[in-house]
Amino acid sequence: MVPLKSSKQATSNVTGEFKVGQRYQVATPEQTSNTQPSTSIELPDAPIETLNDTQLPVRELPSNIEESAAQLQWQAVKVRSGDSLAKIFKRNGLNATTTHKVITAQGEGSKSLKKLGVDDIIRIGKDEQGSLVSLEYPLSKNETLYVNLQNQQYHAYKESKSVEVREAIAHGVIKSNFWHAAASAGLNDGQIISLANVFGWDIDFALDIRAGDSFNVIYENQYIEGDFIGTGNIVAAEFINQGESFHAIRFTDGEYYSADGRSMRKAFLRAPVSFKYISSNFKPKRFHPVQKRWKAHRGTDYAAKTGTPVVAAGNGRVTDATYNKYNGNYVFIQHGNGIVTKYLHFSKRAVKKGQRVKQGQVIGYVGSTGLAAGPHLHYEFLLNGVHRNPRTVKLPDAKPLNQKYKQAFEVISKQRLAELTGSRRILLSMQPSAE
Ligand SMILES: [Zn+2]
């Protein structure tokens, strides 16, 4: 399956290594100021794994420690499974009294030392007598706890570094598979799933992606002192599916809206199964058995492994959750506006008759019970008792953004659309054939 192969992508992104692919910095108004990365480096180049209780060279100290402290012997200690500060101190020649004094240090944050994270690195600075003078513990990627000895007493304080956000753009043209195209465009697993989720009400990523479909994504990269620490939000995206363009723009409320300010969220998901579980994302144009079969048996089949979670396409109430020899384990959901959805051949049902379900809630798992040749979900969508193709049926327009935010959104929307269009033009001229 596709996602497993590229699962390394996410971790390698966190280390700051940029993957080969179409990933470009986009200049935006927010970064016109000089944001040159700082050159100071916190730890030596050796991989973190080798830093087990080893001596590290003396480094610069926070300015509020007396000058003599610069002569400290520093150790970087990696927290092991089952470790406590007491155990770590003991291993490094510090006694229980010191542990107590450090944990109860004046100031803020020393209590964080009662619960250490495995693989965290604690830096310990001792004087010539081997007494603890200074300790540093990272609380998060941008926050560090310092405990320093001042006038025979330990004082604790937290210091946070600001996270700088820079925007980047990824562009891809799909040749054989959306996941592959997105990964080679430089997006990590989480971003690929987010991208599909943003458009999941408009596009069935499991069955309706075709060769030649393309996407353009503006997203955030986060940096601390010039070091890449991870990706942030997708801020705008464009997806061209079978010639039709869809745009999504993130607003300040964290939601995505189309360019004209309508929520991307709609009453029904286009597919009740995540595309990441579907073995083949699409068939070549000339061969389209799904469409043909839909006409024959009025449903859509999603071939997926037994146990794959199936979600409710929309909010509603379960009218049937039972078994018969044709449908196997099945679930029917009654939604508003005369719409009923049906889900057949489950290996296991996850809801009961009469239960209210929310869109995206797991209602069962793919199987091959009843009249099914192999494991798949048979999905039906009925409007006033008539079968409709769930992937093409016209649904009521989504809710527009509240009128009072309209003007603010229009400003953002206009800018993002220009960025998407501009970047697509540049990228297409640079990358005549991308996966
Ligand atoms: Zn079927």
**36 is a domain residue:** no
Query: 180 C-alpha vs ligand 1 centroid, how far in Å?
Result: 28
The pTM score is 0.69
Query: 264 C-alpha vs ligand 1 centroid, how far in Å?
Result: 29
- Quote the Cα angle for 223-226-230, to 5°: 25
Query: 357 C-alpha vs ligand 1 centroid, how far in Å?
Result: 23
Residues 298 and 220 in one domain: no
* pLDDT number for residue 424: 75
Query: 51 C-alpha vs ligand 1 centroid, how far in Å?
Result: 56
Highest-confidence segment of 144-153, 169-178, 296-305, 313-322: 313-322
Q: Of 111, 145, 160, at which residue does a domain stop?
A: 160
Q: What are phi and psi of 259, to 5 degrees?
A: -60, -30
**155 is a domain residue:** yes
* pLDDT number for residue 288: 39
Neighbours of 416 (CB within 10 A): 21
Query: 320 C-alpha vs ligand 1 centroid, how far in Å?
Result: 18
Phi-psi region of 169 (alpha: psi -120 to 50; beta: other; left: phi over 0): beta
Residues 154 and 216 in one domain: no
Identify the CATH number of the domain in which residue 82 sits: 3.10.450.350
**419 is a domain residue:** yes
Asked if 416 contacts 235 with a C-beta cutoff of 8 angstroms, the reply is: yes
Query: Which pairing describes strands 143-150 and 214-224: parallel, antiparallel, or unpaired?
Result: unpaired
Query: 378 C-alpha vs ligand 1 centroid, how far in Å?
Result: 4
Farthest-apart Cα atoms in the chain, separation: 85
Structural domain containing residue 296: 277-388
pLDDT tens-place string over residues 368-415: 999 888 899 999 999 999 999 888 888 777 788 999 999 999 999 999
Rounded CA-CA distance 345/327 in Å is 6
Asked if 273 contacts 304 with a C-beta cutoff of 8 angstroms, the reply is: yes
Rounded CA-CA distance 268/246 in Å is 17
Q: Of 134, 160, 186, at which residue does a domain stop?
A: 160
Q: What are phi and psi of 412, to 5 degrees?
A: -65, -45
Query: 84 C-alpha vs ligand 1 centroid, how far in Å?
Result: 56
Rounded CA-CA distance 201/378 in Å is 19
Q: What are phi and psi of 67, to 5 degrees?
A: -60, -35
pLDDT tens-place string over residues 147-167: 999 988 999 999 999 999 999
Residues 175 and 238 in one domain: yes
Q: Report the domain count for the chain.
A: 3
Query: 45 C-alpha vs ligand 1 centroid, how far in Å?
Result: 56
Asked if 192 contacts 182 with a C-beta cutoff of 8 angstroms, the reply is: yes
Query: Which pairing describes strands 143-150 and 121-126: parallel, antiparallel, or unpaired?
Result: unpaired
- What are the structure tokens assigned to 325, written together? 């020899």
Closest CA to 268 of 402, 400, 413, 389: 389
pLDDT tens-place string over residues 167-209: 999 999 999 889 999 999 999 999 999 999 999 999 999 888 9
Q: Which helix (H) or strand (E) holds 413?
A: helix 406-430
